[in-house]
Amino acid sequence: MTNDKYLTELIATARHFYHQGWMVGTAGNLSVRLPDGSFWITASGRSKGELCKSDFVRISPQGKVEQSSPGLKPSAETAIHQVIYRLFPEATSCYHVHSVEANLVSRFVQGDCLPLPPLEMLKGLGVWEENPKCTLPIFANHLQVARIATEIEERFTKTPPEIPALLIRDHGITVWATSPETARNYIELVEYIFRYLVAARCAGI
Ligand SMILES: CSCCC(=O)C(=O)COP(=O)(O)O
Ligand SMILES: [Zn+2]
């Protein structure tokens, strides 16, 4: 893929997520990793429904800004993307969105794991067991993003997640995948599961 194609894909995906209500205003951030280990990430504070090609910053494998339009800052949550790419060398895309449902389900439990219902949809996230008992890791939403990133690194180094996703309480979901298309599917699947959980609770199930 050329740089242009990567950015076109991220712009289209952000617009799609914006129209779902998952990247309202400036919420969320998307990144894609290139074969040289650098990655393109959305610049901080841009309206995610109307991104253009100059709204991205390229971060080197060492974590420095490598390419940017004047006046841009990388996403405030770049440290989380960096830690995901470090932990999961096969990942080439990392997407983070804020939905109402993600925030609601993050309060359904007090602990640091959200049990997921044994839905067929889990197969789309790589879970192929009969009646799976799968959980989604939850992290606290610290003001200092670096602290969230450190906690992700410490926890996943000891206990790898069962699915390529993590939830930050009262904040949003992050997924990672081996292609931009797969990361987009993962966001859609996880958001479906969140809607199911909210609907099930409303229905008293
Ligand atoms: C209203 S969004 C608050 C910051 C945030 O959580 C986010 O995902 C967007 O931050 P960025 O710096 O990537 O624009
Ligand atoms: Zn966020």
Q: Looking at ligand 1, which residue's alpha carbon is closest to its atom 8?
A: 28
Q: How far apart are the first and last CA of the chain?
A: 45
Closest ligand to C-alpha of residue 56 is 1
Half-sphere exposure of 119 (CA within 13 A, CB side): 18
- Reported residue count of the chain is 205
Report the pLDDT value the prediction gives residue 121, as an integer from 0 to 100. 98
Q: Give the ligand 1 atom nearest the CA of 48.
A: 14
The CATH superfamily label for domain 3-203 reads Class II aldolase/adducin N-terminal domain (3.40.225.10)
Contacts of 117 (CB under 8 A, 6+ apart): 193, 196, 197, 200
Two structure tokens written together for 133: 């008992």
Report the pLDDT value the prediction gives residue 10, as an integer from 0 to 100. 98
Q: State mean pLDDT over 8-36.
A: 98
pLDDT tens by residue, 137-189? 999 999 999 999 999 999 999 999 999 999 999 999 999 999 999 999 999 99
Q: How far is the CA of 29 from the centre of ligand 2 (A)?
A: 7
Report the pLDDT value the prediction gives residue 3, as an integer from 0 to 100. 85
Q: Break the chain into its structural domains and give their ranges.
A: 3-203
pLDDT tens by residue, 87-145? 999 999 999 999 999 999 999 999 999 999 999 999 999 999 999 999 999 999 999 99
